[in-house]
Structure 1
């Protein structure tokens, strides 16, 4: 399977709604369009990798220095670490995390995606 990232991102209509693009070794590769400020949350037992494809993303932390990412950069948020993604303008990211990881982690909000859509 070949995924054209530009085409895949163009099919995602909502911000903060990750779509599964691939699965390997129990991990999901998700694509998401981000804009604005997301909920503070953490993933109790899952690391989460943010790879910026287009735009800029800041990941805020309660207990450490914020991380600012631009296109072509990634950062891994360790399991259990509170974080808050912020995109001042539209940003496209690839997320790598264990299958079944909720986008809002330990927080249940209107942004929680229970059933992830897939990029076909």
Structure 2
């Protein structure tokens, strides 16, 4: 999970762990980039687009090229151009903030069963 908002990151982590997911966290562009380049492949990435130090669009491309795993964007960006660009860069889904936790879990299950792997 790549999310810079501390409270939201903590809430998402609790939600995902309660659903059986193992969660690796990054809170800024550089941390996420380093984890992508150094970590073993994750099975799905849940991420924001507005990150300190860089753009989420660049990370979507890096994830696509390095891991080839589903990326779900969770962002406050509501412009159609941002949604379209994220999907064109390789995201499989886009949810706008604020969001429903149950809807998020339902969308995650579409790409990764609960409790099987890292998020």
TM (normalized to structure 1)? 0.30
| More strand by percentage | 1
TM (normalized to structure 2)? 0.31
